[in-house]
Structure 1
Amino acid sequence: MDNFPKRQTAYKFWIKDLYSGIPKVDETTQLKAFEVRGKSVVRVNVLGNIIDTSVQDNYGSMTIDDGSAQIRLKVWNDDVELMKEKQVGDFVMIIGRLSDFNNERYVRPEIIRNMSFDWALLRNLELNHEYGAPSREEKIILKKEESVPDEVEPTLRAREIILNTIEKNEEASEDDLVSACGIAKDKVMFALYELLKEGEVFSPKKGYYSLV
């Protein structure tokens, strides 16, 4: 197992920290990453209140605020399901990829989960202990999007289905994963390739996959 790369950690930060991240390429995985507080970051774990949401057939956006700053979440195609039934005022935990495009920093969520406000207190204590309180100067406030942006990354929903299917069964075949995802095989295989490259899964034998 030591021969396989470790899974990408979803680091916890204040939202404001995400804007200070410097784009780079992770030397181990060759994935786009951001240098945030001395860490090479691909995935993040942040909490916040939903202050704006817009869900259409093939695109959804949501803005969350944790008191330090606001950041937009973006999903396309199958990933739109993640935002359905979420409402302004919900307090949520977001796990996803930190991204930027056209000079905008945003998150591609893999998980959007409603949480109690007790979690906000615990997270604030945790972040205050590790990083200190966020600066209140020049809080980043986002404007509403005026148009639907083109998709710039492959679907993340397929990634979550793949991971959940493998976790449930300990091992899964390509056919099992294609069936579970319910989308074109080439899209499933692309998502699977990304997971292999990132060290989320490995292949113990041809055509079968397990979690690292």
Structure 2
Amino acid sequence: MANEVQKRQTALKVNIGNLLNGTYIKQDGMLPNYVLLSDGSKVSRVNLIGVVVSVGEDTGFQSVFIDDGSGKISVRAFEDMPKLKELSIGDCVLIVGRPREFSNEIYVLPEIIKKIVNKQWLEVRKIELEKNKLPEVEIPSAKSGSAQVQTPSKTSEQVNDSQAVVEEEFIDSSINNDVVKKIKELDQGQGADFDEVIKQTSPDAEKTILSLMKNGDVFEVSPGKLKVLE
């Protein structure tokens, strides 16, 4: 049941700088921990695009640092994750995962790792985030008993990583290849028309497209125009 709740959480598109400047909040019970951003957003899952600037394998975990121009953040896996090992300095990558904190440092526990061939997607993401930018609000201080800053143990991180791998398989298996192929087929450079993709596939394609957009596999480069992340 807990895993089903986690799967329904949307991975929010944020820039790394805002994530690092947020406040990590630990909640009681089964409620997910999150990062409280300056605009009031509560981020329990993130969707990041950045360039790998360093790679390493510390004792007990694999890690890379990615940079999107606003900041640099560590992406860490506490169990074997081949896709993380395959990354090299200079790779452009999409990361979907859960923010965590250790020794007052926010990092990301990855669920989905996807290399991006075209680095122009970095600029697309910057424009997208700027368009959706919300005004900053005053952030109330965390109250003891209901929320507090977390300093997690490695054991809890390893448990979360196991759950993340399961979720990665769930998300990947839900992608409708026919819709992706149709978007590529109709895209002549300016993006595929949203309505035309639905018309040439099925009425249910709209749900699939929205799911692909949430997962970061498809972007709306302009109103009603879709592109596949490659």
* Interval containing the TM-score (normalised by the shorter chain): 0.5 to 0.7
1:124 deviates by 1.3
- Residues 76 and 155 of structure 1 are in contact (CA less than 8 Å); yes or no, is this contact kept in structure 2? no
1:66 deviates by 0.6
Task: Provide, for residues 45-84 of structure 1, a one-character-per-residue CA deviation record: whole Å limited to 9, x for no partner.
Answer: 1111100001368521100111111011111123x32312
Describe the shift of the 1:58–1:67 C-alpha distance in structure 2 as closer, same or farther (beyond 3 A). Answer: same
**Matched residues in 2 for 1:166 and 1:121: separation?**
25
**Matched residues in 2 for 1:166 and 1:47: separation?**
18
1:161 deviates by 3.4
Partner of residue 23, structure 2? 22
**Which has the larger displacement, 85-94 or 16-25?**
16-25
Partner of residue 96, structure 1? 97
Partner of residue 63, structure 1? 65
**Matched residues in 1 for 2:41 and 2:170: separation?**
30
SS in 2 for 1:34: strand
Partner of residue 164, structure 1? 169
1:118 deviates by 2.5
- Residues 111 and 168 of structure 2 are in contact (CA less than 8 Å); yes or no, is this contact kept in structure 1? no
Q: TM-score, structure 2 length as denominator?
A: 0.56
Kindly tell me the number of residue pairs found equivalent between the two proteins: 149
Describe the shift of the 1:152–1:65 C-alpha distance in structure 2 as closer, same or farther (beyond 3 A). Answer: same
**Matched residues in 2 for 1:68 and 1:14: separation?**
7
- Residues 63 and 71 of structure 1 are in contact (CA less than 8 Å); yes or no, is this contact kept in structure 2? yes
**Matched residues in 2 for 1:120 and 1:129: separation?**
14
- Residues 24 and 106 of structure 2 are in contact (CA less than 8 Å); yes or no, is this contact kept in structure 1? no
**CA RMSD of superposed structures (Å):** 3.0
- Residues 16 and 48 of structure 2 are in contact (CA less than 8 Å); yes or no, is this contact kept in structure 1? yes
Which residue of 36, 53, 56 corresponds with 2:55? 53
**Matched residues in 1 for 2:16 and 2:112: separation?**
16
- Residues 76 and 151 of structure 1 are in contact (CA less than 8 Å); yes or no, is this contact kept in structure 2? no
Describe the shift of the 1:167–1:14 C-alpha distance in structure 2 as closer, same or farther (beyond 3 A). Answer: closer
Aligned residues: percent identity?
A: 31
Partner of residue 198, structure 1? none
- Residues 96 and 108 of structure 1 are in contact (CA less than 8 Å); yes or no, is this contact kept in structure 2? yes
Describe the shift of the 1:16–1:164 C-alpha distance in structure 2 as closer, same or farther (beyond 3 A). Answer: same
Aligned runs of 1:139-150 on 2, under 5 Å?
Answer: 150=154
Q: TM-score, structure 1 length as denominator?
A: 0.60
Q: Tell me, which stretches of 5 or more residues in structure 2 are unaligned?
A: 135-152, 175-230
1:162 deviates by 5.4
